[in-house]
Amino acid sequence: MKIAVLSFLLSTALAGNIVEELTAAGATTLVDLVVKAGLADTLTGPGPFTVVAPDNEAFAKLPAELLATLSGDVELLKKVLLFHVVPGMAVMKKDIANNMVVPFPDADSLHIVNVYLKSKFYDGFVTVNGKLMKKYDITADNGVIHILSDVVYPFPSATIAQLVAADDRFSTLLAAVVAAGLADTLASEGPFTVFAPTNEAFAKIPKDALDGLLADTEALKKVLLRHVLPGALFKKGISWDTHSTAGGEEEDMIATQVFKGDVIKVVSSVGGTRKGARVVAADIIATNGVIHAIDTVI
């Protein structure tokens, strides 16, 4: 233990500040933008800071129009960059827990931080709003840096309930959620994962059967809660696995499956009837979790 503490203290003593360590790590696009936004003095200050730092490849993935907008709007650029900086603490990977929520009051938003596949055999991997941490624990003399695969943008600003209400793809789901009295649940703190059937998914159900389901509050609630998982399961964390759902019963458990070609399926088995759906849009992020649109009601 003493050796580990001594090693940490020595690495910190020999480290440069956040900006110097970002440069040394090759995050030169981020450093250039930090300077452009006038944040270099902030990130060379006393800290401590935790910086989740998009690498050069992450910025290269951004649409050219967005990058041009950021470069031309210093205040927006500053806001986006500061959304990658947690002031007042230096959080090492070992301190990160699954479903951590980090508020950013200035952006009226948050980070949902997840640790996936962690076991006694594997340390697992970390995502921030679904974006993968590629490298951890780059120590600076005023904090710590973790390298990200993507820029964390845009900022989540609406709850799952608000996103469903605002998205035309989910108008039938919205009617079902309201009929089942679940709108307040999907607006609550969470985090949750919702496998959200699109209008086309509901259209696969015969009209008489759908009308009957919408008229039976308890049966409707049971079906809808089968589509909701406790905790945030972003696309990068989805694997071949089984999951308990908000339905609560063993028969309400669902399975996720991942195939080549970026194909993700979710499967239920209720009363001997197996139903499978394909994810058609992943990682629709909310302030209280994440939505994955699916093509079939399960």
Confidence grade of residue 14 (pLDDT, cut at 50, 70, 90): confident
Confidence grade of residue 272 (pLDDT, cut at 50, 70, 90): confident
Question: Which region, left, alpha or beta, applies to residue 90 given φ > 0 means left and ψ of -120 to 50 means alpha?
Answer: beta
Number of residues that this document lists for the chain? 298
Q: Reduce the DSSP state of residue 208 to 3 states and report it.
A: helix
In this structure, what token pair is assigned to residue 282? 């992943």
Q: Reduce the DSSP state of residue 213 to 3 states and report it.
A: helix
pTM of the shown model: 0.92
Burial (0-12, 13-18, 19+ Cβ within 10 Å), 7:
exposed
Q: Reduce the DSSP state of residue 48 to 3 states and report it.
A: coil
Q: Reduce the DSSP state of residue 205 to 3 states and report it.
A: coil
DSSP codes of every residue in 248-290: -SGGG-EEEEEETTTEEEEEEEETTEEEEEEEEEEEEEETTEE
Query: pLDDT (tens digit, 9 = 90+) per residue, 274-288?
Result: 999 999 999 999 999
Confidence grade of residue 15 (pLDDT, cut at 50, 70, 90): confident
Report whether pLDDT(198) > 60: yes
Confidence grade of residue 2 (pLDDT, cut at 50, 70, 90): low
CA dihedral (109, 246, 296, 184) positive or negative: negative
Confidence grade of residue 124 (pLDDT, cut at 50, 70, 90): very high
In this structure, what token pair is assigned to residue 99? 């479903």
* Spatial distance between the Cα atoms of 145 and 196, rounded to a whole number of angstroms: 35
Amino acid identity at 255: A
Query: pLDDT (tens digit, 9 = 90+) per residue, 78-99?
Result: 999 999 999 999 999 999 999 9
Neighbouring C-beta atoms of residue 260, cutoff 10 Å: 5
At residue 150, φ and ψ (nearest 5 deg) are -145, 160
CB within 8 Å of 237: residues ≥ 6 apart? 114, 116, 117, 127
Task: Please check whether residue 81 is in contact with residue 37, taking contact to mean a CB–CB distance below 8 angstroms.
Answer: yes
* Spatial distance between the Cα atoms of 151 and 256, rounded to a whole number of angstroms: 27
CB within 8 Å of 24: residues ≥ 6 apart? 16
Confidence grade of residue 13 (pLDDT, cut at 50, 70, 90): low
Amino acid identity at 100: M
